[in-house]
Amino acid sequence: MGEASIKAQAKTAYETAIGVEVHIELATKTKLFCGCEASFGAKPNTHVCPYCLGMPGTLPVLNEKALELALSVGIALHCDIPAWSRFDRKNYFYPDNPQNYQVSQWFYPLCKVGYVEIGEDATKRIGIWNIHLEEDAGKLFHDEKTDQTLVDANRAGVPLIEIVSAPDMQSAEEVLAFLEQLRTKVLYLQASDCKLQEGSMRVDVNLSVRKAGNSGLGTRTEMKNLNSFRAITRAINAERERQIGILEAGGEITLETRRWDDAKGASFPMRSKEEAMDYRYFPDPDLPPVFVTEDQVEALKKAQPEMREAKRKRFVSQFGIPEYDSEILTQSVRLANLFEETAKLGIAPKKVSNFLMGEGLRILREKELDPADVQATPEHFAALLKLLEENKITNTVAKEVFEEVFVSDVDPAEYVERNGLLTVREEGVLRQTVESVIKENEKSASDYLGGKEKALGFLVGQTMKAMRGQADPATVTALLKELLKK
Ligand SMILES: [Zn+2]
């Protein structure tokens, strides 16, 4: 047996168990316990007040909207909602934490035991252990010029939910499937914008390996600083390899927290169990327990929006678009709604879907945009498709204008007018261009006259190019045929 195949065999002899802790910032206007704005990207330390700066004597007031959003997520994840929960203080000193404690839930969380379904036909259930409602910390910035570390407390006190999964996942693929499902549900609920790059969704991965067939779990490590789905995949695969390597060499796994360095493609120890802090959790004396009645839960269940699966099926039956289209469109609630509202304005649904799936997805990819940032209103999108339907603009022009509508919601009629993009079909205007195209492409002209039909297509293409895509193809073809015969 070669060394490579021995290695391969060793690898398959291990099973991986992965659980995740997902922090999601809730999309409330204000913070969890004070009236400060919770929005992202403001000037440092402008969204602060005595409470979220940890001044003595200030008192918290629970944001009802945050509670509602957290419960909605719990309901969507099939969780049990206990009749009451409680806030606890997690005590630690760090400069980004003005209060020196974080208000969290430790002993009695808001939601318990739920699940997320993944895999083909949702065949595998990933358990949810609990969902905590808690405050976010502020942020530290290191200023290279002055070699100083600065504190921005804008994020301190922004509401977060922490979703803790069971170690039910066995590969990076399963973790991504879980996160995609979770993210889609939260986006459909409009409970958060779930942007990994802005930190409104953050994922820690707990991973352990064990010999195949063994029961129980191996010693786990916790991986932090995972800022993209790609980083999560790489970190999981690297950590699995690292742990198997240690075990194969006869070593033991240390229970520790590790920091993923995506540039280096490796993780480094942050703190071991011995260094782990004792947070001295205790009930927050300033906050009463949170009571949730059955009526409240029922009302929230009724108010849940249509989720992805239901929408996917309905689009096929109501609009007659292919399953595939519906699958793609409903991946983002923003695109799904744009599709539905535009189709309802009297545009053929398949035409709407084609533009969104072809051009829309291309633009998102090329500009690295989040679907939530799409600006198009259904009215402008429909107006553009009408211009195309009425042959006022060509397909090439429509694609150009669509990008403007999609990204900046320009008025298509005005844009076409201002940039002179209406389709040219006046023979007088086109004749000159066609004549010069024939002159410049003598070989193709004689090929066509010699019986090569294909050469005509080439000449039409050249004319369209010369007209910047704005000529009416039928008129161009007719003119070419006429002028070639001369
Ligand atoms: Zn505040």
Please report whether residue 348 resides in a domain: yes
Query: Ligand 1 centroid vs 164 CA: distance in angstroms?
Result: 27
CA of 95: how far to CAs of 137, 151, 159, in Å? Answer: 10, 7, 19
* Tokens 């920091």, residue located: 259
Query: Ligand 1 centroid vs 189 CA: distance in angstroms?
Result: 26
Q: What is the pLDDT of residues 61-83, one digit of tens each?
A: 999 999 999 999 999 999 999 99
Q: In sequence order, which residues have a C-beta less than 8 Å from that of residue 235 and are 6 or more positions away?
A: 205, 223, 226, 260, 262, 267
Q: What is the pLDDT of residues 290-302, one digit of tens each?
A: 999 999 999 999 9
CATH number at residue 432: 1.10.10.410
Residue 1 pLDDT exceeds 50? no
Residue 243 pLDDT exceeds 80? yes
- Arithmetic mean of pLDDT, 196-200: 84
Give the end of a domain, one of 296, 326, 349. 296
Please report whether residue 241 resides in a domain: yes
Whether 393 and 245 share a structural domain? no
How many other CB atoms sit within 10 Å of the CB of residue 396? Answer: 17
Query: Ligand 1 centroid vs 281 CA: distance in angstroms?
Result: 23
- pLDDT band at residue 23 using 50, 70 and 90 as cut-offs: very high
Query: Ligand 1 centroid vs 98 CA: distance in angstroms?
Result: 11
pTM above 0.85, yes or no: no
Q: Is 324 helix (H, G, I), strand (E, B) or coil?
A: helix
> What per-residue confidence (pLDDT) applies to 450?
81
Please report whether residue 9 resides in a domain: no
- pLDDT band at residue 276 using 50, 70 and 90 as cut-offs: low
Query: Ligand 1 centroid vs 50 CA: distance in angstroms?
Result: 6
Q: Which residue has the higher pLDDT, 274 or 407?
A: 407
Residue 418 pLDDT exceeds 90? no
- Arithmetic mean of pLDDT, 325-343: 93
Query: Ligand 1 centroid vs 37 CA: distance in angstroms?
Result: 8
Residue 153 pLDDT exceeds 60? yes
Element (H, E) at 290: strand 290-291
Please report whether residue 354 resides in a domain: yes
Query: Ligand 1 centroid vs 145 CA: distance in angstroms?
Result: 30
Q: What is the pLDDT of residues 129-152, one digit of tens each?
A: 999 999 999 999 888 899 999 999
* Tokens 């240390």, residue located: 254
Instruction: Give the rounded percent of residues in the chain with a pLDDT score beyond 70.
Output: 97
Whether 396 and 445 share a structural domain? no
Token digits for 464? 């369209």
Query: Ligand 1 centroid vs 225 CA: distance in angstroms?
Result: 27
Least confident among 76-80, 235-239, 264-268, 428-432: 428-432
Query: Ligand 1 centroid vs 57 CA: distance in angstroms?
Result: 14
Query: Ligand 1 centroid vs 114 CA: distance in angstroms?
Result: 32
Query: Ligand 1 centroid vs 190 CA: distance in angstroms?
Result: 23
- pLDDT band at residue 421 using 50, 70 and 90 as cut-offs: confident
Please report whether residue 3 resides in a domain: no
Whether 249 and 171 share a structural domain? yes
Whether 478 and 413 share a structural domain? no
Rounded mean pLDDT of the chain? 89
Whether 339 and 282 share a structural domain? no
* Range(s) of the domain holding residue 432: 427-484
The burial of 175, by beta-carbon neighbours within 10 Å (0-12 exposed, 13-18 middle, 19 or more buried), is given as: buried
Domain count for the chain, please give it.
3
Query: Ligand 1 centroid vs 30 CA: distance in angstroms?
Result: 8
Bridge partners of residue 67, in order along the sequence:
none
Query: Ligand 1 centroid vs 197 CA: distance in angstroms?
Result: 24
Token digits for 410? 């320009």
Give the end of a domain, one of 296, 320, 341. 296
Whether 378 and 359 share a structural domain? yes
Per-position DSSP letters for 200-232, written without gaps between them: SEEEEEEEEEEETT--S----EEEEEE-SHHHH
Whether 262 and 330 share a structural domain? no
Residue 370: name the closest of 342, 335, 405 by CA: 335
Residue 4 pLDDT exceeds 60? no
Per-position DSSP letters for 5-48, written without gaps between them: HHHHHHHHTEEEEEEEEEEEE---SB-SSSSSB--SSPSTT-S-
> What per-residue confidence (pLDDT) applies to 114?
96
Whether 404 and 470 share a structural domain? no
Instruction: Give the rounded percent of residues in the chain with a pLDDT score beyond 90.
Output: 62
Residue 8 pLDDT exceeds 70? no
Q: Is 142 helix (H, G, I), strand (E, B) or coil?
A: strand
Residue pair 103/138 in contact (Cβ under 8 Å)? The answer is: no
Query: Ligand 1 centroid vs 31 CA: distance in angstroms?
Result: 7
Query: Ligand 1 centroid vs 291 CA: distance in angstroms?
Result: 24
Whether 312 and 280 share a structural domain? no
Distance of alpha carbon 28 from alpha carbon 5, whole angstroms = 54
Query: Ligand 1 centroid vs 25 CA: distance in angstroms?
Result: 16
3-state secondary structure 334-376: HHHHHHHHHHCCCCCHHHHHHHHHHHHHHHHHHCCCCHHHCCC
Token digits for 121? 């036909």
Residues found in the chain: 486
Residue pair 160/69 in contact (Cβ under 8 Å)? The answer is: no
Query: Ligand 1 centroid vs 33 CA: distance in angstroms?
Result: 7
Please report whether residue 33 resides in a domain: yes
Residue 344 pLDDT exceeds 90? yes
Query: Ligand 1 centroid vs 124 CA: distance in angstroms?
Result: 42
Residue 98: name the closest of 64, 140, 127, 133 by CA: 140
Whether 43 and 126 share a structural domain? yes
Q: What is the pLDDT of residues 161-176, one digit of tens each?
A: 999 999 999 999 999 9
Phi first, then psi: give them for residue 409, nearest 5 degrees.
50, 45
Give the end of a domain, one of 296, 314, 334. 296
Query: Ligand 1 centroid vs 47 CA: distance in angstroms?
Result: 7
Query: Ligand 1 centroid vs 130 CA: distance in angstroms?
Result: 27
CA of 234: how far to CAs of 87, 223, 256, 263, 371, in Å? Answer: 35, 11, 19, 11, 25
> What per-residue confidence (pLDDT) applies to 7?
56
- pLDDT band at residue 11 using 50, 70 and 90 as cut-offs: low
Residue pair 352/385 in contact (Cβ under 8 Å)? The answer is: yes
Query: Ligand 1 centroid vs 95 CA: distance in angstroms?
Result: 17
Please report whether residue 10 resides in a domain: no
> What per-residue confidence (pLDDT) applies to 275?
63
> What per-residue confidence (pLDDT) applies to 361?
93
Whether 270 and 324 share a structural domain? no
Query: Ligand 1 centroid vs 157 CA: distance in angstroms?
Result: 7
Distance of alpha carbon 126 from alpha carbon 242, whole angstroms = 25
Whether 451 and 381 share a structural domain? no
Token digits for 245? 């390597």
Residue 27 pLDDT exceeds 90? yes
**Alpha-carbon dihedral 26, 123, 210, 234, rounded to 10 degrees:** -50
Query: Ligand 1 centroid vs 116 CA: distance in angstroms?
Result: 34
Query: Ligand 1 centroid vs 82 CA: distance in angstroms?
Result: 29
Query: Ligand 1 centroid vs 60 CA: distance in angstroms?
Result: 9
Q: Is 178 helix (H, G, I), strand (E, B) or coil?
A: helix
Query: Ligand 1 centroid vs 59 CA: distance in angstroms?
Result: 11
Query: Ligand 1 centroid vs 226 CA: distance in angstroms?
Result: 28
User: For 241-246, which contacts have Cβ atoms below 8 Å and span 24 or more sequence positions?
Assistant: 242/267, 243/207, 243/208, 243/209, 243/218, 244/10, 244/11, 244/14, 244/209
Q: In sequence order, which residues have a C-beta less than 8 Å from that of residue 303 and are 6 or more positions away?
A: 72
Query: Ligand 1 centroid vs 206 CA: distance in angstroms?
Result: 33
- Arithmetic mean of pLDDT, 319-338: 93
Query: Ligand 1 centroid vs 155 CA: distance in angstroms?
Result: 10
Which residue type is seen at 363?
I
Please report whether residue 77 resides in a domain: yes
